[in-house]
Structure 1
Amino acid sequence: MTGIVEDPERDLILTYAPVARRAGLLALLVLDDALARLLRTTREPALGQMRLAWWREALEKLDYAPAPAEPVLKALQAEVLRHGITGASLVPIVHGWEVLIEEETLDADAMRRFGEGRGQLFVAAGMVLGSRGDPLSAAGQGWALADLAHNLQAGEERATARDIARPLLDAAGRAHWSRPARALGALAHRARLDLADTPKPAGAPARVGRLLWHRLTGR
Structure 2
Amino acid sequence: MITEPERRMILSYAPTAAAGRGLAALLVLDDKLAETVRTTTEPMLGQIRLQWWHDALAKLDSAPPPAEPVLEAVARDVLRDGVAGERVAEIAQAWQAVLQPELDADGMKGFALRGACLFELAGALAGASPGDPLALAGEGWALADLAAGLTDPGEAAAARMNAGQALASATAARWSRNARALGAMAHLAQLDLAGVPLGSPRRTLRALWHRLTGK
TM-score w.r.t. the length of structure 2 is 0.95
Q: What does residue range 83-122 of structure 1 map to in structure 2 within 5 Å?
A: 83-101=81-99, 103-122=100-119
1:19-60 C-alpha deviation (Å, 9 max, x unpaired): 322101000000100000000001011111111111111011
Structure 1 residues 45-54 or 24-33, which shifts more?
Answer: 45-54
- Cα distance in 2 for residues equivalent to 1:163 and 1:118: 16
RMSD: 1.2
- Cα distance in 1 for residues equivalent to 2:200 and 2:3: 16
What residue identity is the alignment partner of 2:202?
A
Counterpart for residue 182 of structure 2: 184
Shift of 1:6: 5.8
- Cα distance in 2 for residues equivalent to 1:118 and 1:35: 13
- Cα distance in 1 for residues equivalent to 2:14 and 2:114: 23
Counterpart for residue 125 of structure 2: 128
Percent identity over the alignment?
Answer: 54
What residue identity is the alignment partner of 1:209?
L
- Cα distance in 2 for residues equivalent to 1:131 and 1:217: 15
- Cα distance in 2 for residues equivalent to 1:38 and 1:96: 13
What residue identity is the alignment partner of 2:138?
G
- Cα distance in 2 for residues equivalent to 1:109 and 1:137: 17
Counterpart for residue 69 of structure 1: 67
Counterpart for residue 39 of structure 2: 41
- Cα distance in 2 for residues equivalent to 1:111 and 1:149: 10
Establish whether residue 204 from structure 1 lines up as the match of residue 196 from structure 2: no
Structure 1 spans left out of the alignment, 5+ residues:
none
Q: What does residue range 132-211 of structure 1 map to in structure 2 within 5 Å?
A: 132-133=129-130, 134-196=132-194, 199-211=195-207
- Cα distance in 1 for residues equivalent to 2:181 and 2:144: 17
Structure 1 residues 111-120 or 27-36, which shifts more?
Answer: 111-120
Contact (CA 8 Å) 1:94, 1:118: kept in 2 or not? Answer: no
1:175-197 C-alpha deviation (Å, 9 max, x unpaired): 1111111000000000011111x
- Cα distance in 2 for residues equivalent to 1:181 and 1:210: 16
- Cα distance in 2 for residues equivalent to 1:48 and 1:200: 32
Contact (CA 8 Å) 2:117, 2:135: kept in 1 or not? Answer: yes
Contact (CA 8 Å) 2:26, 2:118: kept in 1 or not? Answer: yes
Secondary structure at 1:82's aligned position in 2?
coil
- Cα distance in 2 for residues equivalent to 1:116 and 1:209: 29
1:107-140 C-alpha deviation (Å, 9 max, x unpaired): 2221111102442111111101110121011000
Structure 1 residues 82-91 or 108-117, which shifts more?
Answer: 108-117
What residue identity is the alignment partner of 1:7?
E
Counterpart for residue 214 of structure 2: 218
Secondary structure at 1:66's aligned position in 2?
coil
Aligned length: 212
- Cα distance in 2 for residues equivalent to 1:84 and 1:113: 24
